């Protein structure tokens, strides 16, 4: 209680000095946000609530906020500093007008939709409020989302405030409080090129001009969390490909997650996911599973940064290798082009804008920039190839194991969706091991532990057994190499953990809203 | 080119199968490879392939569960071979199917970005599967 009282005094001081917590407009309207319901014991605990309040102020400029702690006093007793004499009477906004916006954020399992940057680059990482998202004209309106009070110049963009409950309120709140980094001299190396792409005529420019999307198949808060949490701001495992160059400059710091950078990354992941989902699986439920695991894979590989690179040459969002690129060019390219063309709209534009080269992405290390250069159509091109490679792996595992009559009964105990989850998990795993590196332990597990009429009944238990099989029966290339075996056997667990961390960081729930 | 493939196939057919330290598999593989050139039609070849696959699956699922390091290594080798042989899929033997299957088997090599073509060399198990494919496509 004493802590709360001290903090209230601090808030009053901050508010009075105009430092961050609120603005008192001449209109003098007041809205009360009661902080007494928050289980706050320190400033850190209260940050989510404060962020929510600030976000609300940003959205609804005319509603200043008084933060109070403890039981709500009657409105007439409310101390209101410095209200002009002519000001209208104090209005206490009833709780029902904006309840979710105020209350949802603090109840989330983890605090920030807003990730405060590491303090290692203080001069370069000051956080500024995000401009409100410009919603795509063609995008369907959010259903039943409590809307912030619109700014006058944006009224026409807002759909009428719907009634009832919403499925995606938490994401709406998180979107409203997105913050971007301001770039400094060491991490702004992509900004000029990004600005050029934004003003260009390609599909990537179109995606950037649309601004952050709220109704995305892949939640923006998850992409933000991935971009900011997997690699630190000072990490230097990044590269930069100047336009038209084939060889990247290495040792770059993580690029600043500016609005342009974030918008391009998120909208590209969203569009490619939507376009390629039917290519991966025919039905929606399976597509959700596929896209979720795919996001985990990309987060694990690159932290969703399209210019991530490593010493071995694997590069881009999906850390594509020459082997994977060559295989997609040989075996999947026709299927991908046909699929995207059939999808029409922006998906067809992906094909016409980015997939025209012969091949669109070249495999050799000499052409490493093909995998990540913005001027070559990345990150979209890298994502399409990553998905193409997964599809190829799935086909190979289906023909050699999943669809073989001899193992049909082993999988017969699983529902269709569970079977798809298992297959996708194994395919994602093989992104790291290679198909050959997956086939050996998988076949060995089936031949040793699933003999006779034994069936798989629990996907997670089977995946745990497969992890052990990677240790007991590794592919001959990995035999005796303890580090490789550890890495290969633990890859799927690492992806799952990464995904779980991102979802927790982004406020809980699945990252896929397809 | 065609002549070269025929000569190579004949040479392969005469080569003893890679020793898997499992007498049954080694013997069965040798006899299967000797048998393939004697079949006159595609369907006969594919039936023989299917029977060989049945043998492999049965044999591996009936082996005692490996306990020692050496037993596990042998079991892994045999499963690697089985997986490669099971990756050969053809409804008929023609040029296109043969090319696609060759590429599929090649793609089973373990990725290694430091190698010139981004892949490790084919392991003995994979080479055996490739030699079977070569004989089938002769």
pLDDT at A78: 41
Residues facing A34 on adjacent strands: A68
Confidence class for position B19, pLDDT limits 50, 70, 90: low
Instruction: Name residues whose C-beta falls within 8 Å of residue A319's C-beta, 6 or more positions apart in sequence.
Output: A301, A302, A308, A310
Dihedral (C-alpha) A314, A315, A319, A321: value to the nearest 10 degrees? -40
**In chain A, residues 72-91 whose CB comes closer than 8 Å to chain B:** none
CB-based contact, A477 to chain B, within 8 Å: yes
Taking the CA of residue B23 and the nearest CA in chain A, the distance in Å comes to 19
- For chain B, give the percent of residues with pLDDT over 70: 86
Beta carbons of A440 and B118 less than 8 Å apart: no
Mutation target to probe the B interface, by most B beta carbons within 10 A, among A365, A426, A468, A475 is A475
The shortest CB-CB distance from A444 to any of B57, B79, B114 is to B79
Integer Cα distance of B3 and A218 in angstroms:
55
Token readout for B43 is 């369907």
Q: Which residue, chain included where needed, has tokens 């490679």?
A: A389
Structure tokens given for B75:
């079991």
CA distance A41 to A46: 8
User: Is A314's CB within 8 Å of B113's CB?
Assistant: yes
**Length, in residues, of chain A:** 514
Beta bridge partners of A252: A238
Q: Give yes or no for a contact between A273 and A291, defined as CB atoms under 8 angstroms apart.
A: yes
The pair of structure tokens assigned to A52 is 């929510």
Contacts of residue B47, Cβ cutoff 8 Å, sequence gap at least 6: none
Q: Calculate mean pLDDT across residues B127-136.
A: 96
Q: What is the pLDDT along chain A (514 residues), one digit of tens a residue?
A: 455 555 554 544 444 444 433 333 333 343 444 443 344 444 455 555 555 555 554 444 443 333 333 333 333 334 433 333 333 333 333 333 333 333 333 333 333 333 333 333 333 333 344 444 333 333 333 333 333 333 333 322 333 334 445 556 666 767 767 788 889 999 999 999 999 999 999 999 999 999 887 789 999 999 999 999 999 988 988 999 988 888 889 899 999 999 999 999 999 999 999 999 999 999 999 999 999 999 999 999 999 999 998 777 789 999 998 889 999 998 899 999 999 999 999 999 999 999 987 899 998 888 989 999 999 999 999 999 999 999 999 999 999 999 999 998 999 999 999 999 999 999 999 999 999 999 999 999 999 999 877 899 999 999 999 999 999 999 999 999 999 999 999 999 999 999 999 999 998 999 999 8
SS3 content of chain B, % helix, strand, coil (to 5): 70, 0, 30
Residue (of A43, A33, A95) closest to A64 by Cα position: A33
Q: Which of B93, B100, B127 is nearest to B20 (CA)?
A: B127
Q: Is the pLDDT of residue B77 over 50?
A: yes
Q: Which helix (H) or strand (E) holds A239?
A: strand A238-240
Given a cut of 60, whether residue B10 has pLDDT beyond it is: no
Q: Does A110 touch chain B (CB under 8 A)?
A: no
Q: What is the CA radius of gyration of chain A?
A: 25
Chain A: give the shortest CA distance to residue B123, in Å: 8
What is the helix, strand, coil percentage profile of chain A, to 5? 50, 5, 40
Beta bridge partners of B26: none
* A189 three-class SS: coil
Q: Report the DSSP beta bridge partners of residue B122.
A: none
Q: Taking CB atoms and an 8 Å cutoff, what residues of chain B touch A392?
A: 107
Q: What is the pLDDT of residue B13?
A: 46
Please give the angle made by the CA atoms of A167, A168 and A174, to the nearest 5 degrees. 160
Residue A376 CA to residue A370 CA, distance in Å, equals 6
**What burial class does residue B137 get, using C-beta atoms within 10 Å of its C-beta: 0-12 exposed, 13-18 middle, 19+ buried?**
buried
Give B50 to chain A, closest Cα distance, Å. Answer: 11
Q: Which candidate from A313, A363, A439 shows the least CB-CB separation from B83?
A: A439
Cα atoms in the Cβ-side hemisphere of radius 13 Å centred on A212: 25
Nearest to A68 by CA among A112, A149, A5, A2: A5
For residue B84, what are its two tokens?
Answer: 């490669």
| Closest-CA residue to A376 (of A311, A303, A338, A320) | A320
Q: Extract the tokens encoding A155.
A: 């009224």
Q: What are the residues facing A31 on neighbouring strands?
A: A65
Q: Is the ipTM of this complex over 0.85?
A: yes
A484 — contact with chain B (CB < 8 Å)?
Answer: no
Task: Give the per-residue pLDDT at A365.
Answer: 83
Beta carbons of A330 and B84 less than 8 Å apart: no
Helix (H) or strand (E) holding A296: helix A284-302
Q: How far apart are CA A58 and CA A48, in angstroms?
A: 15
Q: Tokens 């699986």 — which residue?
A: A281
> Residue A315: what are its φ and ψ, rounded to 5°?
-145, 160
Structure tokens at A66: 């008084």
The radius of gyration computed from the CA coordinates of chain B, to the nearest angstrom, equals 15
Nearest by CB to A436, which of B54, B61, B110? B110
Nearest residue of A to residue B114, measured between CA atoms: A312
Chain B nearest-CA distance from A444, in A, is 6
Closest CA to A506 of A110, A213, A117: A110
Residue B88: closest C-alpha in chain A: A400
């Amino acid at each position: 209680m004493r802590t709360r009282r001290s903090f209230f005094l601090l808030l009053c001081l901050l508010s009075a000095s105009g430092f961050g917590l609120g603005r008192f407009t001449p209109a003098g309207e007041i809205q009360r946000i009661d902080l007494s319901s928050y289980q706050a014991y320190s400033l850190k605990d209260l940050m989510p609530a404060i962020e929510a309040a600030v976000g609300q102020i940003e959205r609804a400029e005319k509603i200043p906020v008084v933060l109070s702690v403890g039981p709500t006093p009657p409105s007439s007793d409310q101390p209101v500093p410095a209200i002009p004499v002519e000001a209208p009477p104090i209005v206490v906004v009833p709780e029902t007008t904006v309840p979710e916006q105020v209350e949802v954020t603090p109840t989330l399992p983890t605090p920030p939709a807003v990730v405060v940057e590491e303090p290692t680059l203080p001069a370069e990482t000051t956080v500024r409020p995000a401009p409100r998202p410009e919603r795509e004209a063609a995008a369907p309106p959010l259903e039943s989302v409590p809307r912030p009070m619109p700014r006058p110049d944006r009224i026409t963009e807002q759909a009428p405030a719907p009634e009832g409950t919403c499925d995606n309120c938490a994401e709406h709140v998180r979107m409203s409080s997105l913050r971007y980094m301001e770039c400094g001299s060491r991490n702004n190396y992509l900004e000029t090129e990004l600005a050029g792409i934004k003003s260009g005529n390609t599909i990537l420019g179109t995606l950037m001009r649309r601004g952050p999307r709220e109704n995305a198949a892949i939640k923006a808060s998850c992409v933000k969390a991935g971009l900011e949490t997997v690699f630190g701001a000072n990490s230097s495992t990044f590269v930069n490909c100047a336009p038209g160059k084939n060889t990247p400059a290495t040792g770059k710091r993580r690029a600043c997650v500016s609005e342009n950078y974030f918008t391009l990354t998120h909208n590209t992941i969203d569009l490619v996911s939507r376009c390629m989902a039917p290519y991966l699986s025919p039905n929606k439920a399976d597509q959700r599973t596929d896209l979720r695991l795919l996001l985990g894979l990309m987060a694990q590989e690159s932290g969703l940064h399209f210019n991530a690179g490593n010493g071995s040459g694997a590069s881009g969002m999906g850390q594509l290798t020459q082997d994977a690129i060559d295989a997609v060019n040989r075996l999947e390219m026709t299927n991908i082009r046909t699929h995207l063309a059939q999808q029409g709209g922006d998906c067809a534009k992906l094909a016409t804008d980015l997939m025209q080269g012969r091949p669109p992405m070249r495999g050799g290390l000499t052409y490493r920039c093909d995998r990540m250069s913005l001027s070559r159509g990345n990150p979209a091109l890298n994502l399409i190839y990553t998905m193409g490679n997964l599809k190829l792996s799935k086909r190979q595992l289906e023909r050699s194991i999943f669809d073989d009559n001899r193992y049909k009964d082993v999988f017969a105990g699983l529902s269709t969706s569970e079977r798809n989850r298992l297959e996708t998990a194994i395919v994602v795993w093989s992104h790291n091991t290679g198909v050959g590196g997956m086939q050996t332990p998988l076949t060995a597990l089936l031949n040793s532990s699933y003999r006779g009429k034994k069936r798989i009944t629990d996907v997670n238990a089977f995946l745990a057994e497969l992890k052990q099989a990677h240790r007991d029966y590794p592919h001959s290339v990995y035999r005796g190499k303890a580090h490789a075996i550890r890495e290969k056997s633990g890859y799927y667990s690492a992806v799952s953990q990464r995904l779980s961390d991102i979802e927790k960081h982004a406020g809980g729930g699945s990252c896929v809203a397809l | 080119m065609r002549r070269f493939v025929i000569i190579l196939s004949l040479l392969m057919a005469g080569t003893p199968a890679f020793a898997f330290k499992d007498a049954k598999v080694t013997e069965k593989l040798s006899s299967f490879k000797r048998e393939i050139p004697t079949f006159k039609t595609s369907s006969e070849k594919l039936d023989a392939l299917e029977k060989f696959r049945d043998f492999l699956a049965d044999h591996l699922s009936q082996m005692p569960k490996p306990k020692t390091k050496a037993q596990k290594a042998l079991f892994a080798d045999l499963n690697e071979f089985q997986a490669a042989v099971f990756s050969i899929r053809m409804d008929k033997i023609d040029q296109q199917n043969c090319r696609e299957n060759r590429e599929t088997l090649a793609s089973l090599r373990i990725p290694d970005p430091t190698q010139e073509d981004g892949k490790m060399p084919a392991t003995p198990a994979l080479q055996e599967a490739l030699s079977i494919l070569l004989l089938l496509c002769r």
